Amino acid sequence: MTVRQKSHAAGLMRVNHAGEVAAQALYKGHATVARDANIEQQMQHAAAEESDHLAWCEQRIQELGEEPSRLSPVWYAGAYAIGTVSGILGDKWSLGFIAETERQVCEHLDSHLDGLPAEDARSRAIVEQMRDEEAEHGEKAMQAGAAELPAPVKSLMRLTAKIMTNAAYWV
């Protein structure tokens, strides 16, 4: 890969790493206030899988000669708070938030697959595996009784993700 391609791939993987920091915190926040023990266990299991994704992204960023986002503590704290607050509304809303988050994440990861250099097979394999597992998390949330979120909430989630994505790419 050229220097520019490596830098772009690292930026995309930094965004993915930031997303995994946030996802791990989101699931842990939901698990903290889950009313149903099965839902709590599902959230803890998903958080553990997000930890794997986090490690894959961090390793790939380092292989590309760069560092993860310096804003990781912000991503974690914000997502944990969002997970806890949405979870307080009840398990069906918590699950709805997870289902919508994972749907948006899959779209985001698909766009990264479109944007990654064709020569970067390693990053592509990581992103594809993450996308498949994120889709599975969303499906499990739907099967467990996720409520459909109102359109304004979905829009706010999209806006928040856009801000995070733009910041994490560079910082």
Looking at residue 68, its pLDDT comes to: 96
Looking at residue 48, its pLDDT comes to: 86
86 pLDDT exceeds 90?
no
- pLDDT above 70: percentage of residues in the chain: 100
Nearest to 99 by CA among 164, 167, 52, 153: 153
Please report the beta strands in the chain, taking only residues with DSSP state E, as ranges in sequence order.
none
How many domains is the chain built from?
1
- For 86, the domain range is 3-170
When pLDDT is averaged across residues 92-98 and rounded to a whole number, the result is 91
- Between residues 58 and 50, which one has the greater pLDDT? 58
H helices, E strands: number in the chain? 6, 0
Task: Indicate the pLDDT class of residue 46, thresholds 50, 70 and 90.
Answer: confident
Over the range 35-72, which residues count as b (16 or more CB within 10 Å of their CB) and which as e?
Answer: eeeebbebbeebbebbeebbebbbebbeebeeebbebb
- The CATH number of residue 13's host domain is 1.20.1260.10
pLDDT in tens, 139-166: 999 999 999 999 999 999 999 999 999 9
